[in-house]
Each structure stands twice: as C-alpha cells, then as structure tokens.
Amino acid sequence: MSLSHTVLAEPRREASTKSSSLRDRLMATRRLSLRLAEPLSDEDQVVQAMDDASPTKWHLAHTTWFFEAFVLPRFMPGYRLFDDSFEYCFNSYYESVGPRHPRPKRGLLTRPSTEAVRAYRAHVDEALEEFMAQGLPAEAEAFIELGINHEQQHQELLLTDILSLFAAGPLKPAYREADPGVSTHTAVPLAFMPFEGGIYEVGHDGNGFAYDNEGPRHEQLIRPFKLANRCVTNAEWIEFIKDGGYETATLWLADGWNTVNGQDWRGPLYFEEAEGGYMQMSLLGYRPVDLGAPVTHVSFFEADAFARWAGYRLPSEFEWEVAAAGHPFEGRDLGADHLRPLPADAGDGLRQMFGDVWEWTASAYLPYPASRPHPAAVGEYNGKFMCNQFVLKGGSCATPQGHMRRTYRNFFYPHQRWQFTGLRLAADA
C-alpha cells in the first residue's frame, strides 16, 4: 500500500458488482456515523473527558480526513481539499503525514465548528460518491475497504467516549433513554468446555479483509485447555469486591497494585455502591447493575486479578481463537441496538464469543512470525503500537455489525477500561 505509487500507473476497471457493493457499504458506514451523533448536542460533540477519549466532532472529522489523506487526492484527479488546516486538526498519529494537534487537547478544538465538520463530511461524501461511480483501481478499493473498517472502529470509540463524558458530568444524562423498568437476570451456570492440545494454524487466512496485525497465518502449539462457557458476570464481580479483591495485594501484578492504589479503584469503571445494591453509568443512563450481565469496563489488571482470585487464568489469544473456530461471526453487537452487554443465552457450548464485551486475553500484543508492516503511512496503523499492550478478542455491544471476526486483535494498555471490556476464564486441562 505504498502512498508513493502514482495514479497513472493504475489501470482502471469498469464499475463492477464488487465496486457497487463496496460503495453501498461505504456510504452506509458514513451515514451510520452521523446517526450515532444525532442524539448529541453540538456542545456534547466538542468536549473530551480524558486523554484517552476524543470528542465526537473529532471522530466525525478524523474518519473523513482519512479519505482525504489516503484516497481522494491520490486517485481522483482534480479533487479539491475542503480546508488545508484540517490535516493538522484531524490527523491522529500518522507521523509520516505530518504534524498534528496533540491528542490530550482535542477538546480545545472549538474551531472548526461542529457545523463546519458536518459540511466537511458532506463535501468528502459527495466526492466519494462521484469517485465510486467510476471503475476503481485495485489499490483504491483496498484503501476504501480500510477506510470503512477504520470508521467502524471510530464508531465504537465515539460511543464509549461519549459515555466517558456523560459519566463525568453531574447530571449523568443518558445517550438514549431506556425503556421503563429495570430487570436483572440470573446467569446461566458457569461450566468449562475442554479443548484438545496440538499444533493449530492461527491468524487470518487472507480471504477477505483483515488488518495487517492479524497475519501472517502461522502454526501455534497449544496445550490442552478449558474455556468458560460464558463471560464473568456482575454478580461474580461483586463477590470479588466483597471478598476484598481490591484490597488483597497478592492477587495483583505489581503495576496493577500500584494502579489500584494510585487511582483508588474499588470496582469497575462507572460502578458505584448504592443503597440496595450497585449502580453503573451506561449509555442508557445511570441504572442498577444487571447481576447476570457480563461485567464490563474492567482493565487487564483487574481481569488478571479476578482470574487469580477465582482459581483460574485468562486464556491466550490463540486458545480463544481455536475455541471460537466454527462459531458464526455474530452476536449482540451495535446492530442488535441494545447498547449494553446482556446475560448469556441459555444453551450448551460456548456463549457470548462475539459481541457483548471485548474479552481480555493473557497475550501481549506482538507481531506474528514473519510479520511485515505495510510501507508508508498506513504501516503506522497497527504495528507501532506493539509494545506494553494486551490483546482482546470477540467484539462488544458497541462494535458495528459485520466488524467482528475470529482473528481480530483489539489491543489496549493494561490500565485502560473505558471500553466495553470484560473477561472469560480459562484453565489448563
């Protein structure tokens, strides 16, 4: 995906069914981002609650900038940039592209206005519609596909970042009002599914889209193991709290113990003990905790400590991937429109493998054998973050529909917990 390749060297094809499908997916993704922002005021879209989060306005602009940076000026002769200053404002971390506004200060970007960002999106969308009506070179199709998946990632971030903002405010507003009444569920019984050891092929097989960090496909030795049939629940996490889990140093990694004490953690993020039970801030507002639902907004440090307290461990990313073989890439994602994790459905076998919450694994986020980053700026997408982070698998209730797959490698630092992150227990067989 070299950005130095010229348009003149790219043979053009007649518009195809594949191109039409790609165009439909692209424009549907662009429309979804705007729909996700509709419940928000312009004021809501400007503020960032913490350094890890970004304002909604920034997400809407950055995902638009991506197509200006990597597609339109390069492949569409005569394309006119909307505003030269937007590259500095809305570049994220692409050093190869140029300097950019500091991430912790994105909430200070009151200008350009939210209205200007909407105009920016309209300008780029009009150009994309015109561009996609032509026969596209294969490399342009690859960048469009990457842009779709990139925007889907930011749709999930948009929701979790607005939750962090609303949770920080005194009024604790709901992103979307919930139906009246509150129900809590009893979890299906915890059970462990056995899996045989052996040498397995893991990683993406090259068929269909995948990020560069999902390959190359390679062999991995896996010893016999057991994996829990469902995710850890809020009720089980409350037992951990009441048993002194956050006060017992021997359960924690050293960095985790320092974080717990330095930040005074006493439960998952947005978790609060209240009269009669626990409450938690959510996209549906400040609500009683559903005891049977998966615990969420926990860090790797917390997941690791809980697993040790429970007498188990976290699975490796490869154990998780092997166990997920044969499961359809579907679950309660953003398309299900619940906006929160729900209890596992009754039934045999593994539940909740996709959707509900991202599941922490014990695997450090590292390159696979023989991995090579793409040249030029897009090589910065994943590879340069392969240090001090851990892999999560599966997807969440805020992951856009169609964005989940078995080989997907989400990654976060071990202290981060503002995403819909949970865990599933594992053990040696």
Per-residue confidence (pLDDT) for residue 12, from 0 to 100: 39
Give the position of tokens 């009269």: 275
Contact of 401 with 152, CB cutoff 8 Å? no
Q: Identify whether residues 215 and 319 lie together within a single domain.
A: yes
Local confidence band at 377 (pLDDT 50, 70, 90 cut-offs): low
Give the position of tokens 């023989």: 370
pLDDT at 118 over 70: yes
Give the position of tokens 């900038």: 65
Per-residue confidence (pLDDT) for residue 184, from 0 to 100: 72
Local confidence band at 312 (pLDDT 50, 70, 90 cut-offs): very high
In this structure, the chain runs to a length of 429
Q: Identify whether residues 123 and 232 lie together within a single domain.
A: no
Write down which residue in 133, 168, 203 finishes a domain. Answer: 168
Assess if residue 234 is contained within a domain: yes
Write down which residue in 115, 135, 168 finishes a domain. Answer: 168
Q: Identify whether residues 414 and 325 lie together within a single domain.
A: yes
Per-residue confidence (pLDDT) for residue 134, from 0 to 100: 85
- 3-state secondary structure (DSSP) of residue 254: helix
pLDDT in tens, 230-262: 999 999 999 999 999 999 999 999 999 999 999
Per-residue confidence (pLDDT) for residue 225, from 0 to 100: 98
The CATH number covering residue 329 comes to: 3.90.1580.10
Rounded mean pLDDT of 218-238?
Answer: 98
Q: How many CB atoms sit inside 10 A of residue 239's CB? A: 14
Per-residue confidence (pLDDT) for residue 372, from 0 to 100: 80
Give the position of tokens 């306005």: 57
The domain of 227 spans 192-428
As beta bridge partners, residue 198 has 222
Q: How many folded domains does the chain comprise?
A: 2
Q: Which 8-state DSSP code applies to residue 385?
A: G
Per-residue confidence (pLDDT) for residue 152, from 0 to 100: 98
**Residue 126: CA count within 13 A, CB half-sphere:** 10
Q: How many CB atoms sit inside 10 A of residue 275's CB? A: 5
Share of the chain above pLDDT 90, in %: 86
pLDDT in tens, 379-405: 667 778 889 999 999 999 999 999 999
Q: Identify whether residues 153 and 223 lie together within a single domain.
A: no
Single-letter code of the amino acid located at 405: R
pLDDT in tens, 250-305: 999 999 999 999 999 999 999 999 988 899 999 999 999 999 999 999 999 999 99
Per-residue confidence (pLDDT) for residue 373, from 0 to 100: 74
Assess if residue 220 is contained within a domain: yes
Q: Identify whether residues 30 and 142 lie together within a single domain.
A: yes
Assess if residue 299 is contained within a domain: yes
Cα gap 105→103, rounded to integer Å? 5
For CA atoms 138, 144, 148, 153, the dihedral sign is: positive
User: 211 to each of 2, 320, 417, how far by Cα in Å?
Assistant: 16, 18, 23
For residue 297 the two structure tokens come to: 């907004």
Cα gap 166→43, rounded to integer Å? 12
Q: Identify whether residues 150 and 227 lie together within a single domain.
A: no
pLDDT at 148 over 70: yes
Q: Identify whether residues 408 and 270 lie together within a single domain.
A: yes
Q: Which helix (H) or strand (E) holds 158?
A: helix 138-168
Q: Identify whether residues 38 and 108 lie together within a single domain.
A: yes
Q: Identify whether residues 220 and 153 lie together within a single domain.
A: no
Q: Is residue 37 packed enough to be buried (19+ CB in 10 Å), middle (13-18) or exposed (0-12)?
A: buried
pLDDT at 9 over 50: no
Local confidence band at 86 (pLDDT 50, 70, 90 cut-offs): very high
Residue-averaged pLDDT of the chain = 92
- 3-state secondary structure (DSSP) of residue 284: coil
User: 317 to each of 49, 127, 129, 324, 411, how far by Cα in Å?
Assistant: 31, 40, 39, 11, 11
For residue 148 the two structure tokens come to: 């779709």
Q: Identify whether residues 210 and 323 lie together within a single domain.
A: yes
pLDDT in tens, 322-363: 999 999 999 999 999 999 999 999 999 999 999 999 999 999
Q: Identify whether residues 94 and 209 lie together within a single domain.
A: no
CA angle 422, 411, 302 (to 5 degrees): 35
